[in-house]
Structure 1
Amino acid sequence: MMMMLSRVSRPAHNTLRRLSVLAALVLAGAAPALSQSPFSSAITVNERAITYYELEQRARLLEVIEPLGNPREKAREQLIDDRLKLQAAREYGIEVTAEQIEAGTEEFAGRADMKGDEFIAALAEEGVAPETFRDFVISGQSWRGVVRARFGGRVEITEEDIDRALSTTSGGLQVRLAEVIIPITPQTEQQVMQVAAEIQKLTSYAAFSDAARQYSAAPTRDQGGRVDWVPITNLPSQLRPILTSMKPGEVTDPVPLSGAVALFQMRGITEGPVSTPRYSAIEYAEYYLPGGRSPETLARARTLRDSIDTCNDLYGVAKDQPPEALYREARKPSEIPNDVATELGRLDKHEVSTNLTRNQGQTLVFLMLCERTPALDQDVEREEVAEALRGQRINSFAESYLDRLRAEAVIVEK
């Protein structure tokens, strides 16, 4: 176990004092109402208008599906990009079909473990018009078509590329982290992100552990946020390159989870002589407990954890409840939502996490790892790596192309 520092330095102490002040802040006030007509033009992009109504609706959508950052600023940036993407689609003669819209809707809803119509109804309850989400999907599908048409034939992945990618992750690479996981809601987002920004500045182990004890909702808070050694391949693929580039003491940017934001501090990295296993599928169960992170619900989750041994036991727990109270499925690692994958990466078979919430913090997720299925077919593994590399390169080309469209665009804000 890594030795902890006995004292917190004065800069870290001052940072923690600022954190304490931030933690005491109350809910942020509502944004002022717009004085303009909601359907008047707020921005034009190459003479195509974005209305105040569109800005308000996109901001509301982002508050629901991406509760981090400034939703109004993100809405502005996204809608400007949308106009540029749709313009490019028209130039390439790309039109999105009803089938593509439906597929895009189902794909997005699946990330929330919902059907498309259920997801749209849930958005409507949060004040998001169906047309707003439909426009969001059309933009995404149009851009996919543009990227496919412009760059699909330009990307070639060689056997050497695949070998190089496999060599970076096939060893027994393990990381040791400390974590702070802070619950977040639309009402507390501003305060939570201020706290997270202060925690990200910490460099000492002791200061980060003190922050974990004060702010983290994870069970690891009692040990200063410390997490045991974890194989790097157990963690979401998006986190791996970030973690492997970090030095001990460095802290990640805030990582969005469902109903929370996480920060990870690097405590150590090592490579053993044995290859880390790869998995073709991970089976897990989510049992939903109403009440969010209330003391009563957390106590119920602890009691449940102590009373069951396997995922199968959850069927007995949920037998008299609606079917949607329990979700169980085996998925490819790449298909598992990032927040769930992050939690599963730290669990052994039949272990439990209660760090996640749903329904804007009103529902606690009792997450249990059921099984990891080792990947046996090396050819399949190489195909998956090749596909991932192809996607990364195409995305890089697409981002560069969008940057060029932004630079050339005439954008006028009213």
Structure 2
Amino acid sequence: MNLSRLTQRLAIAGFAVMAAAPAFAQNLYAPVAKVNQSVVTEYEVQQRQKFLQLLNAPGATRDRIVDVLIDERIRNEAVADAGIELTPEGIDESLAEFAARANLSTEEFTKALGQSGVSPETFRDFVVNSIGWRELVRARYSSRVQITDAEIDRALGTASNSGVRVLVSEIIIPAPPENAEQVTALAEQISQSQSVGEFSNYATQYSATASRGRGGRLGWQDLSLLPPTLQPLILALAPGEVTAPLPIPNAVALFQLRDIQETGNPTSSYSSIEYAAYYLAGGRSPETLAQAAKIRARVDTCNDLYGEAQGQPAEVLERTTKAPGEIAQDIAIELSKLDPGEVSTALTRSDGQTLMFLMLCSRTATANQEASRDAVINALRQERLAGYADQLLDQLKADARIVRK
């Protein structure tokens, strides 16, 4: 997205927000809440609300934003008490990383926001407030997070002879570079879903997969069929909980655990997966999807795709065999839903201009698959630290003096 397009969109959205501003905007610096000795002002609430609305983030209600700003005050006070200071270089890097999601520099992004009435300080606070808190949590709890081999084996589903199957709902939202920041904000909102119904409604509205018509609900799946990096994230959930947003090529994925069972059957693991990708020009246009449906009716195995691709450039058909941990996350997610000979047309390439006709050829089982243990360790560590962070915030809030005006 270039600067002029972003500026135009933000300017239009900014005008709409300002036109709807309530009468209390006249007293911008009136306190709306006091947290210990710190004050949250009306100006901050309006600025944060305008910023999130410009990002098209759902749930940017006034009450929700006041709650968030109160939590930020509590976190920031704890960071200051711990003596944690952020370096200017680290702050600049975080701002640049956020702006880069829109393919803009920090200066360009700040300028575009400013033209819609959002101050540089609002952007800076939104991005930076989480950094010090993250450093505090790591410094305080990292030594407590010791991941054992038994936990890793359980996460991989290899600790016992009993298999595990799960009921999962999915949401996959396309995130082309020009919309990356809006999709990120939306995904963060969805990750806070409090029920299966709420997540299902989001799936129906935003998901780009075939399961959207079922509210994102998938049937029972063996845990071992899921991508190795996704397995520990699913196991770490309680029924009804949702994963953090997972970036995949040109999209963001979220998963909700609905139920989990031990099957009593031996756990299967796979050393390699063979699949074919046949690329069709036209993306997800009705014409290309209709073409894909006709091909699906004609082919039963990956070998049949060679006849479909006959006379075309070699690059339109790719057939490959990879270890599960080496497969791109979006492809791995789709393959986990397929039996050999089945097809997915959920994915695109070339910024949505090319449809991927993805077919699973075969899976090769192995007795002792040790795929992606490092990824499992990292996922378990982050999950454990997130739990400590929630506990600490709850404790600090209980001890804080919070007065809402």
Instruction: Give TM-score, length-normalised by structure 2.
Output: 0.56
> Is structure 2 residue 88 aligned with structure 1 residue 98?
yes
> Is structure 2 residue 289 aligned with structure 1 residue 299?
no
> Which residue of the other structure, out of 362, 375, 390, is the alignment partner of 1:384?
375
Residue aligning to 2:234: 240
Residue aligning to 1:412: 403
Q: How does 1:130-279 map to 2 (within 5 A)?
A: 130-167=120-157, 173-175=164-166, 200=197, 219-220=210-211, 227=218, 230-232=221-223, 234=226, 236=230, 240-241=234-235, 246=239, 270=263, 272-277=265-270
Residue aligning to 1:351: 344
Q: How many Å separate the matches in 2 of 1:390 and 1:364? A: 38
Cα offset, 1:87, TM superposition: 0.9
Residue aligning to 1:81: 71
Q: How does 1:48-63 map to 2 (within 5 A)?
A: 48-63=38-53
Q: How does 1:92-131 map to 2 (within 5 A)?
A: 92-105=82-95, 108=98, 114=103, 117=106, 120=109, 124=113, 128-131=118-121
Provide the aligned C-alpha RMSD in A: 6.2
Contact 1:178–1:267 (Cα < 8 Å) also in 2 = no
Cα offset, 1:50, TM superposition: 1.7
Q: How many residues align?
A: 337
SS of structure 1 residue aligned to 2:396: helix
Q: How many Å separate the matches in 2 of 1:264 and 1:314? A: 42
| Amino acid of the structure 1 residue aligned with 2:132 | S
Per-residue deviation, residues 89-133 of structure 1 (Å, max 9, x unmatched): 1111111123322443455567x5856649946973876544323
Per-residue deviation, residues 42-99 of structure 1 (Å, max 9, x unmatched): 2221121222222123234444668443533332222111111111111111111233
* 5+ long unaligned stretches in structure 1: 1-29, 202-207, 291-296, 318-330
Distance 1:85 1:347, change over 3 A: farther
SS of structure 1 residue aligned to 2:144: coil
SS of structure 1 residue aligned to 2:33: strand
Residue aligning to 1:327: none
Stretch moving more, 85-94 or 387-396? 387-396
Cα offset, 1:154, TM superposition: 2.8
Contact 1:181–1:263 (Cα < 8 Å) also in 2 = no
Distance 1:220 1:94, change over 3 A: closer
Cα offset, 1:400, TM superposition: 1.1
> Which residue of the other structure, out of 31, 44, 49, is the alignment partner of 2:34?
44
Cα offset, 1:218, TM superposition: 5.0
| Amino acid of the structure 2 residue aligned with 1:389 | L
Instruction: Give TM-score, length-normalised by structure 1.
Output: 0.55
Distance 1:384 1:288, change over 3 A: same
